[in-house]
Amino acid sequence: MQLYNTISRKVEKFAPIEDRQVTMYACGPTVYSAPHIGNMRAYLNQDVLKRSLLHDGYKIKHVVNITDVGHLVGDANLGEDKVKLAAEREHKTARQVADFYTDAFISDIERLNVLKPDVMPRATMHVKEMLDLIGTLDGDGYLYTVPTGVYFDTSKFRNYGKLSGMDFERLNKYLKAGARVERASGLRNITDFAVWRFRKKASDDEMVWESKWGEGFPGWHIECSAMSMKYLGSTLDIHCGGIDHIPIHHTNEIAQSESATKEKFVNYWFHNNFLTVDGKKMAKSLGNVYTLNDIVAKGFSPMAFRYIIISAHYRTKLNFTLHALENVAITLKSIYSFLGRLCECDSAKNAPNHEEFMKSVEDAAEKFFDEINNDLNVPSALSAMHALIKNANKRMEGAWLSKSEAKAVADAMMDFDGILGLNFEKHMRAKKGMDDEVKELVEEREAARIKKDFARADAIRSLLKEKFGVVLEDTKSGIRWHKER
């Protein structure tokens, strides 16, 4: 597998620390509102990466956290906690809000066939680990206290900003230029960030913990460092997230993790580009924030959405339109119909050019996986798959595709679906399932006949004809059945 690594800005050969074992961490959702389809792009791109590594024979330990405290509006040093604000808005407790949107997130990824992470740690359940990490950083002199909280002094970390390709000075200028929100007073550098924030009001009871620095709650960045290292060790093979997290969140995760452990935090940084809608950033004010439920309510299947997202390369910006989704839904339907027809091929005789055709199936499969291993080039892998479908379709139209050829194509398609996750098997099984049902009914009728229960035998014969269009023939060598032409 060749993968682009954000920190080196190069495509590199992927090699995990342990031979066949990969550790993979992704920043999870902040559970204050329903995840939007941009968030889903991140988890779908990561899913393709995970499935590709599984296909290459790696075992994976996969962690996606749930941010249920500490993520402030505007990502800056001041501002309100997103979950707390939502609780006030919805007249619920922060816990209720977090639980509700955690379930919404899990439901979305399940419907999108995203393989379930091994661990989904909640930030609020790991405050102890965060405080331990803060203690280590404090002991080593990286922290200072101002009236609003305990801050990490970014000037003390050599290579601060390396992930973004900006040095300390440039990153400070960049953040200053982009600052729309008021910053905490007393900060030494504009890039400094809170690892612990002090409780704001005496009335604020929820989401407040005791600590030796004072009552309060953790900063957002420290959560990911603490949870990723708890479950995956001090050096991770892969850390994932959207490109929005490169200059601040992931930069700060590196600074605090490496300052605490003195080890490299992450070997490969995997970042997906943005999903835009109608050419614009998704924003509530623009009214273009879609959720998966919105897409489903418009009559599209989650699989059509999965298909449109994964068919773009993860490092390119993807502009989502309903029109494009309509086209993709049609393409997906035609693939499913192809899979159904594949299972109907019943000619045992190989047609001319059999060897040539079988070789073309092998070549398509090789090309597909070469493209996947080339920094997850799904668009080119899909071209190889579509070329195979076209080729097999042509053969089917001429009634040339034999059973063994159809099986080779079906096997290749199933293999592709190990990466694509588009439920191909279900559409093949629908046909296989029918065959199984017919077989069982034929056997049941035979048993009825033997018992001389002719009424039952006749009823089954009619059922087979009506439901499946299957005609039975009693021959000397037993029962045969075929479909009505």
CB 87 within 8 A of CB 101: no
Q: Which of residues 29-58 bind ligand AMP (CB under 6 A)?
A: 29-30, 38-39, 41-42
Return the number of the residue (174 or 274) whose C-beta is nearest ligand AMP: 274
Does 168 bind ligand AMP (CB under 6 A)? Our answer is no
Return the number of the residue (176 or 317) whose C-beta is nearest ligand AMP: 317
Q: Which does 204 bind (CB under 5 to 8 A by kind): ligand AMP, Zn ion, none?
A: none
Contact pick of 70, 161, 216, 241 for ligand AMP (by CB under 6 A): 241
Q: Which does 70 bind (CB under 5 to 8 A by kind): ligand AMP, Zn ion, none?
A: none
Return the number of the residue (246 or 408) whose C-beta is nearest ligand AMP: 246
Does 87 bind Zn ion (CB under 5 A)? Our answer is no
Give least dist CB 71 to ligand AMP, A: 7
Q: Which of residues 272-311 bind ligand AMP (CB under 6 A)?
A: 272, 274-275, 282
- CA-nearest of 440, 457, 454, 348 to 403 is 348
As a whole number of angstroms, the distance between CA 321 and CA 198 comes to: 43
Stretch that binds ligand AMP, among 140-148, 242-250, 361-369, 427-435 (CB under 6 A): 242-250
Does 1 bind Zn ion (CB under 5 A)? Our answer is no
Q: Which of residues 184-223 bind Zn ion (CB under 5 A)?
A: none
Return the number of the residue (255 or 408) whose C-beta is nearest Zn ion: 255
Pairing of strands 275-277, 318-320: parallel
Angle at 135 between CA 132 and CA 138, to 5 degrees: 155
Return the number of the residue (244 or 415) whose C-beta is nearest ligand AMP: 244
Does 219 bind ligand AMP (CB under 6 A)? Our answer is no
Contact pick of 24, 27, 175, 236 for Zn ion (by CB under 5 A): 27
Q: Which does 206 bind (CB under 5 to 8 A by kind): ligand AMP, Zn ion, none?
A: none
Return the number of the residue (74 or 433) whose C-beta is nearest ligand AMP: 74
Return the number of the residue (272 or 373) whose C-beta is nearest Zn ion: 272
Does 224 bind Zn ion (CB under 5 A)? Our answer is yes
As a whole number of angstroms, the distance between CA 268 and CA 15 comes to: 9
Cα dihedral 413, 414, 420, 425 sign: positive
Angle at 124 between CA 87 and CA 51, to 5 degrees: 105
Does 401 bind Zn ion (CB under 5 A)? Our answer is no
Q: Which does 29 bind (CB under 5 to 8 A by kind): ligand AMP, Zn ion, none?
A: ligand AMP
Size of the site for ligand AMP (CB under 6 A): 15
Helix (H, G, I), strand (E, B) or coil at 9: coil
As a whole number of angstroms, the distance between CA 451 and CA 303 comes to: 48
Return the number of the residue (24 or 392) whose C-beta is nearest ligand AMP: 24
Give least dist CB 27 to ligand AMP, A: 5
CB 300 within 8 A of CB 256: no
Which residues, in sequence order, are CB contacts of 79 under 8 Å at separation 6+?
Answer: 72, 73, 181
CB 162 within 8 A of CB 254: yes
- CA-nearest of 9, 256, 237 to 129 is 256
As a whole number of angstroms, the distance between CA 22 and CA 237 comes to: 6
Burial tier of 413 (Cβ tally within 10 Å: 0-12, 13-18, 19+): buried
Burial tier of 113 (Cβ tally within 10 Å: 0-12, 13-18, 19+): middle
Give least dist CB 249 to Zn ion, A: 5
As a whole number of angstroms, the distance between CA 123 and CA 101 comes to: 14
CB 357 within 8 A of CB 405: yes
Return the number of the residue (123 or 339) whose C-beta is nearest ligand AMP: 123
The binding track of 259-278 with respect to ligand AMP, each residue x by CB under 6 A or -, is: -------------x-xx---
Q: Which does 224 bind (CB under 5 to 8 A by kind): Zn ion, ligand AMP, none?
A: Zn ion
Does 244 bind ligand AMP (CB under 6 A)? Our answer is yes
- CA-nearest of 267, 369, 257, 380 to 5 is 267
Q: Which does 98 bind (CB under 5 to 8 A by kind): Zn ion, ligand AMP, none?
A: none
Return the number of the residue (94 or 428) whose C-beta is nearest ligand AMP: 94
Give least dist CB 286 to ligand AMP, A: 12
Does 232 bind Zn ion (CB under 5 A)? Our answer is no
Q: Which does 437 bind (CB under 5 to 8 A by kind): ligand AMP, Zn ion, none?
A: none
Which residues, in sequence order, are CB contacts of 24 under 8 Å at separation 6+?
Answer: 46, 49, 50, 53, 60, 61, 62, 63, 232, 236, 237, 238, 239, 240
**Residues near ligand AMP (CB under 6 A):** 27, 29-30, 38-39, 41-42, 241-242, 244-245, 272, 274-275, 282
